[in-house]
Amino acid sequence: MWDTVATVDGKVTMRGWASFAWADDGEFLVQRADADPPADDTPREWIENSPFPTTSVIGYDDGSKIFTMLYSDHRGVLRVYGMDVDGSTWRIWRAAEGFNQRFTASIAPDGKRIDAYWEMSKDGLKWSKDFDLTYTRN
């Protein structure tokens, strides 16, 4: 289990948790995440657009050497992402007209902390940071 904290411009916008568990004898990895109730000073926009709870199922393509992540959330959003892990760098990406996304994370050497950020782009060329996300193993 992991504690998660999302920040925008250094301000905490979400605290929650994430879990990762193998399914089907290690064929797939299932990620589940949820958020604690929002603090009183959480921006209204963040509360209204909160995806939690979320579920993702991750599988590996031995031909392309790329992972695929199927994502779903309580809003009914369904997305397909590409994913890879190279050493201590974890990346997730999605190319979709009008709403491209990418996630870049650095995994601590001891494996107990992951520092990440999500970015978004309308055109796939000009990117802006959406939020920072920290995972801490509890």
Residues in contact with 53: Cβ distance below 8 Å, sequence separation at least 6, in sequence order: 32, 33, 34, 35, 73, 74
As a whole number of angstroms, the distance between CA 17 and CA 33 comes to 6
pLDDT at site 43 = 86
Q: Using alpha carbons, select from 18, 52, 14 the residue that is nearest to residue 32.
A: 18
Q: What is the CATH number of the domain that holds 11?
A: 2.40.128.20
Angle made by CA atoms 45, 18, 106, in degrees to the nearest 5: 90
pLDDT at 46 over 90: no
Q: Which domain holds residue 119?
A: 2-137
Q: Look at the chain and report how many structural domains it folds into.
A: 1
Average pLDDT over residues 98-123: 98
pLDDT at site 130 = 96
63-82 pLDDT, tens digit each: 999 999 999 999 999 999 99
pTM of structure? 0.94
